[in-house]
Structure formats: C-alpha cells, structure tokens
Structure 1
Amino acid sequence: MSGFGLNQCATDVDCGPTYNICSSMQCVIAQGIGADQCQKNEDCVFEISPESPPVLPLEIPPVIPPENSPVIPPTTPPALPPGNTGIINTSVKAIENITQTVNKQIQQTIQASAETAKVVTKNIQKAIETKQGSLITKTVSTVGAVAATAEVAIAIVFSPMEIFLFIFRLSGILLTSLGLKRRIKPWGVVYDSVTKQPLDPAYVVLNDPQGKVISSAITDIDGRYGFLEPSGTYQISVNKTNYVFPSQKLAGKINDELYNDLYFGENIDIEQGGETITKNIPMDPLRFDWNEFAKRDKKLMNFYSRADIALRRIFDLFFIVGFVVAIIAYFAAPYPYNLIILTVYLILLLLRTIGVKPKAYGRIFSSANGNPVSFAILRIVMPDSNVEVAHKVADKYGRYYCLVPKGKYFIKIEKKNDDGSYSLVYTSSVIDASKKGIIKNTFRI
C-alpha cells in the first residue's frame, strides 16, 4: 500500500512515536521488538544512531478492498443554519425565568404554611389550657399510653399460651365472684343434706348455753330463718318430721356445693353490739318425705332451683383450675400481673373459707333527734288487701330483721309510749321485695 495522508513516509524518520516504522511509504505500528520494546507511547520515539544496527522494515501486506464495494465518503456534522444560536439562547433564558418563578412560589407557599401552623399551634395551646381541653388531653393521652403499653406488653411479654391462660384465670375469678355472690345470702337455710333442697316447716329454736329459749322461728317454703340478737353465746336446735339434726353426712365440713357457714350444734358467739344469726343448717333424711317431694315437683320454691347446684359446681371447678394455673404461672414466670392474679385468688379463697356476711337488718330512727326508736313494732301489710302478713319488734338499738315472701308491701310502725302502750306513728310507701324477699330499709319517723 502506498503511503498517503499524514502517515505517508519515505524513511522511519518521517514517522511519529506511535506509527513508528515506515513500511512501503506508510508509517505503521511495530510492536515491541528489540530496541523498539515499550511500555507506553513515550517509549516509542525513534532515534537514529550510527552505532545502532539497521532496522529492517516490517512488511505488511496491503489491504485491497473487494471489487464493486461502495465507496463511503467521509461524513461531517451538519452545520447549524444561521440564526439558530439565538433561538437556543432565548430558550435557555425562558427556562431560567420559569425556574426562578417556581422557586419563588414554593418559598411563598412554605412561608404561608409556616405562619398558618404557628396560628393553629397557638389556638391548640389556648384550647388545651382550658379545663375541658385539659381533661380531654389527659384522657386521650392516658388511653393512648395504656393502649400502647398493652400492645407492647402483649407483643413482648405475652405468648399466645400466656394470653389464653390469662383469659382463663380472669374467667375463673369472674365466675368465682359470681359464685360467692350467689352463695352469700342475708338469711340462714335449713336444708336436706342429700338433695340440698330447703326444708319447711322446720322449727328453729335459739337457746342460751343453759338451754333457755331465747327466740324461735319457723322456716318458710324456702327454708329461710334468721335471728337478730345482742351479744352473747347461743346454740341452735332444729326439729323437722322425717329428718334428724345435727347432720352426720356433712359433719366437719364448713361448706358444700350450695351452702357455706354450716352449723352442727356448736356454740355461736355474738360480739358486742349484736348481729344476725344466719347459719345454714343441714339435716339428714330418715324417711321419705311426701311434703318435700311435692314441693320440689310443683316448683314452689322462690330462692332455690336444682340448676343452682350445677352452676355452683361449675364455679368451683373454674376456681380450682384457675387457682392451680395461677400458682404454676407465678412460679414459672413471676411477672407482676401473675402476682396480682394469684393475690386475687388467695383473697377469694379466704372469702370462700370464712364467708362474708351482708347487712341483713334495717333500722328505725327518730327524725326529731336521730336517736334509735327502741322496741318499735313493724307490721308488714299487703297493699291490695290491707292484710298483715307478719310483724317484727325492733331491739333496743332500733334494729329489726324481717324476711317476707316475694312481693310488694307497706310498713306500719308503732312507737312504744312511756306507759307501755303503742301508737301508730309512721306508714311507709309501697316497698318492692319481689327480688330479695327481705325488708331491711332504714326508716326515720
């Protein structure tokens, strides 16, 4: 190939450092051979030395294009027509103006939002400083904190099994509380030790330790009785056809499935001030009693049903299982909530053992001086027929104990005069005893 263009040469001196060998009048690259070995372009500067051996030219075969191949002319970038440079400059300036306008609008919007936020913050602060706002804020924040704490506690502390046991233990506490409520009554019951059915009529006698009769009562259809006595020591004896007292089947027990605070003939000590005697008294059957069978068959009792026994057994089962689970949970994972649950169960166990006596009596006071009206007579009258169904005598402290059948009544109160006679001084409005079967109101006459 004949040399042409910038790389045309006659000798190697005409070639540059890159195309450093003149071959066939064309400068070509000679890869590092001998003295021409190089690491970079600067190493390829050709120098002629008279002592250097002659450099043989590198013969490179000429490149002959194929016949009929199209000749591609060299391309050059098109030139911009006159006047286009001004258009570009104008476009750039327009874009800069738009950008500046948008920036100004964004800054103005941000500034306006900041001013609005300041105003809203001041208004909120003023609202919070009011009593209503403070209350709402505290309530919302407290609820939020409790909810967040509960969420974290459940997520971190409680596993699914612990959540189940927690719910189970709470259910046990709830059912046990309901069981205690159903178990606690403001009266005593004489009942069959086998069937748990109340007995009537049973003759209940309250004696002093020497055997002197202090008071007596006949149980109603629900086996109920009660005495309100001053401080002292007492004993109870019970008589009922086809039954024997004291019970040998339940001897030594404090409670059974349905009743607590059982009585078997021991002394009863009343502390100073006096209180009601409402022991539950089981009696063992000697023979079949047609009266009790007919009463159960006709469902005449108001405060007893056979379902009570089943419910009580369910309550007791939940209490026992829940108590055991509470003990195991506390020793396995002594978290505060496990300690609280165990403490609640211990309190419930104590209440089940010793029992809780609700207020079972009412009082009569003088409206003039507030003193108790001693030995007043209360007459319980049916409002429809004006028939007296019972009467009670208050003690020296103005207290009375009054069990009645379910229904509505009004009370007539007679005050004891200095000469020993009585005069009617008060008539109450109608009193509804349809649910509890006991009257224990406080009267001021």
Structure 2
Amino acid sequence: VRIYGAKDNKLREAQITDQEGRFGFLVDPGEYYIKAEKPGYIFPSAKEKLTLYGELITAYRGKTIKVEEKEKGIINVNLPLDPDASLIPQKRLVSANIFNSLLSFFEKASLYIFIPGFIFSTSAYVITPNLYNKVIFIIYLLLIGAMIITSLRSKRQHGLIRDAQTGEPLGSVIIRVFNEEYGQMVQERITDQKGRYLFLVPPGIYYLIAKKEGYRFFQSELLTIKAKGKSIKRDFKLEKIK
C-alpha cells in the first residue's frame, strides 16, 4: 500500500499489510491519495456495495483524501481489491484437461465392460444354470437395480456451464468461488468436458466468477448456502466475444 501527495504525486510512504490486511499512515496535514497492489488483484474494487463482518463499509477507490490541521493525520481507510480473473493458470488448465479426459474415458470404459459382462452372465446362467452362474447373474441384477434407484433418487450436485448461443457444455472454464463477506477466494475449479463443476462449501454467502478464453467475463449474483454439506450448483451460460 502506497500513499502519494495529491499535488506533486510524490511517494510519501509505503507499507505491507499484516496477516489480517491492516495498515495505517500517519501524515502531515495536506491532500493525499492511496494505491494498493497485490499480484492477482485489481485496485480499486468495481463492486458497488461492500460488507465487512456483515455490515456495509465505505470503500476507498482512489479519491483525494484531505487531512486538516486539527486532525491527527491518521489515515486508515478500507481498500477492497477485486480478483483479476484474466490471469489464467495455463499449467493447471492443461493438467485439468488431461485429468478430465482420463476420467471421461474410464466412465465410458466401465459402461462398456459392464454391459458385455451382464450379457455373458445371463447367457451362462441360461445355458448352464448352476449355483455359481446363478450367483453372478443375481449380483448383476442387484447392481442394475442399485444404479436405477440411485439415478432416480439422487439430485444433481454439480453446476453446469454452457455456451449462450449453442447451449453446448463448455469445458476448461476456470471458475472460482469467493466469500462475499471477506472477498477472499475459497476454491477454484476447472470444468470438465461436460461443462460440470462442483463446490462443497460451509454455510455462508458467496459469488462465482468464470473465465474462458474467447468468452466474456462472468460474475454471478450472491448465493446463500444455509446448511452444511450443501454444494454450489448454479447453472449459467457464457457469451462469446464477437
């Protein structure tokens, strides 16, 4: 955090915030302005309303600060920073693409293995109805029943991102969830090839940002999670940059 003289634009003092983000300047009477820098963040914040510990706060956005003669000259304003969504971790993106491709392959492979196995066990039981073939056949029936019940009862726990024009799922989208109260990034995910993502978060108020090359930046409305064990599963669409 740096403080400058408003008239001559000269640096008066620079500080590094402590672990709790605190800082403070003791200055002579005059006019000043402050700048804040942190890798991966943008100052000033573009958010209109900001809260701290659940209460609205007055945020400093770069305007001139006047310190009068009668004042003590202590400057300790609130400096909210916005995460810079343009910084795309390419290495993580490549790793995620490889992982998602392998995961998709094994999902499809398991289905191709299960179906022939069921056909073979059914044929074996019909041709040779001994105890062994009967047990294998019953196991397959139980597995099929469990899969059907699970698919009917389970609710979708993941969110889905699609192309706004085509409606097709978008893979390799970098999506981050932020705590609204503190403005801190809680988790980060990269959507799989089917455009899916999943955030398991404690109760609180959050918002999402999403970034993909060739698409417009997206920021969601505030999302309230009231119970433990709940997931953020908001579906939304990204618009292509024309």
- TM-score, structure 1 length as denominator? 0.21
* Structure showing the higher strand proportion among its residues: 2
- TM-score, structure 2 length as denominator? 0.37
Higher relative contact order (CA 8 A, sep 6+): 2
Higher gyration radius (CA): 1
* Structure showing the higher helix proportion among its residues: 1
